[in-house]
Amino acid sequence: MNNYFIILGAGKGHRFSQKKPKQYFNYKGKILIHHSIDKAIDSKLFKKIIVVASKKYKKEFKKYKKNQLLFVSGGKERKDSSLNALKKIKKFKPQNVLIHDAARPNFSIRLLKNLIEKLKNNIAVVPFVNSTDSIKYRINTRHINLDRDKVYLTQTPQAFRYKNLYKLAIKQKKNISDEASLFLSSNQKIKFIYGENQNNKITFSYDIKNLKSYYGVGFDIHKLIKNKKLYLGGLKIPFHSGLKGHSDGDVILHAIIDAILGATRKKDIGTYFPNIKKFKNIRSPKMLKPIIENLYKSNFSINNLDINLICEQPKVSKFREKIINSISKLTSLNKNQINLKGKTVEKLGLIGNEKAIACEVIISITKYD
Ligand code: ZN
């Protein structure tokens, strides 16, 4: 398994926003470029995953372990970026290398396996799809019809024997739109395989038209009792009491669940987790998991979560980072999409007397279709 996966993510495409390139925007629940990285990791096909990105955005990759990714700075043009990466891995003596655009998050792991399999008998393997639109080609002032069955729209990832690609890439002067062009312009054979229609480039200019956003609000309160463990946001917190309930009483996760259900008009937590024996003492992360999975499966993406934890003790400031970390893991959200506020009630009433803890959550979600 001497395979390497290069993700080109240094593009500055500001069509979508002036603030940051599109590969750092949230798409279906996570940062666009993370989709490609996560799939490459999950596939277990690669010795190293190389991310070509601007140093400025290095913090966006904090969730990955150091040995999982290799960073390379982008070059002026696409060809420079991919050459930087090819040079960087030369010392590993790679056999195969896949080159991929970060703006295509929807390829399958099956496609990766297929590309590598086909490299056994080919030096270059490139996925394509046919066009669904009619295509005309202009030569000077004349326009001619192209037979769309013979038009190949090439996609990434594209797979190559490292040595062959490196030889061509190092000589290349002009900019290229993909590595397949290098092989074609030097008359080297490419094995074309049928790609995946859903593996289109995310441009956002199209997606933006179809965006719909929704808000949901959730509230929960549980009684504090002795001899019970306290769970908040999926995290065990050392405290003199815990929250009484049919489940572990995690007010934060329950309020998040209700906020999600509210935003997607799917009734309430009790509908899915009634007080029946099956759910006795269930841990709340187990309740949140199917709700989150269903949300992402339905093409929703969470923009942000804002949480008010209403209690006298424990002090939220002491556990804020850890709770946010835990929620970030459970929801696959970035930590900067989650805010947690602590609110005391001036020692008033049940909550003020440390007899209960309450929580309210507001969530904003967007549907991508
Ligand atoms: Zn509850």
Domain ranges of the chain: 3-207, 213-367
The whole-number pLDDT of residue 10 equals 86
User: Any idea of the CA torsion for 321, 322, 328, 330, to the nearest 10 degrees?
Assistant: -160
Residues by chain with Cβ below 5 Å of ion ligand 1: 220, 254
Q: How far is the CA of 246 from the centre of ligand 1 (A)?
A: 8
Q: Provide the phi-psi class of 346: left if phi over 0, else alpha when psi is between -120 and 50, else beta.
A: left
Q: Which residue has the tokens 């050459």?
A: 83
Reported as half-sphere exposure (CB side, CA atoms, 13 A), residue 46 has a value of 27
Phi–psi pair at 45, nearest 5 degrees:
-95, -10
Q: How far is the CA of 221 from the centre of ligand 1 (A)?
A: 6
In this structure, are strands 124-129 and 48-52 parallel, antiparallel, or unpaired? Answer: unpaired
Q: How far is the CA of 231 from the centre of ligand 1 (A)?
A: 11
* Of 123, 39, 53, 64, residue with least CA distance to 88: 53
Q: Does residue 206 have a pLDDT over 60?
A: no
pLDDT, greater one: 133 or 257: 257
The CATH number of the structural domain formed by 3-207 is 3.90.550.10
221 Cβ contact list (under 8 Å, min separation 6): 251, 351, 356, 357, 358, 359
Least confident window among 13-27, 230-244, 246-260, 281-295: 13-27
- pTM (predicted TM-score): 0.61
Question: Coil, helix or strand for 137?
Answer: strand
The whole-number pLDDT of residue 209 equals 47
Q: How far is the CA of 250 from the centre of ligand 1 (A)?
A: 6
Q: How far is the CA of 220 from the centre of ligand 1 (A)?
A: 5
The whole-number pLDDT of residue 18 equals 52
Q: How far is the CA of 98 from the centre of ligand 1 (A)?
A: 47
Listed as own residue / partner, the contacts of 228-233 with beta carbons closer than 8 Å and 24 or more positions apart are 230/314, 231/283, 231/284, 232/309, 232/319, 232/323, 232/357, 233/307, 233/323, 233/324, 233/326, 233/327, 233/340
The whole-number pLDDT of residue 66 equals 85
Q: How far is the CA of 228 from the centre of ligand 1 (A)?
A: 15
Class in CATH terms, 213-367? alpha beta
Q: How far is the CA of 321 from the centre of ligand 1 (A)?
A: 22
Mean pLDDT along residues 169-190: 90
Q: How far is the CA of 297 from the centre of ligand 1 (A)?
A: 25
* Whether 134 contacts 145, CB under 8 Å: yes
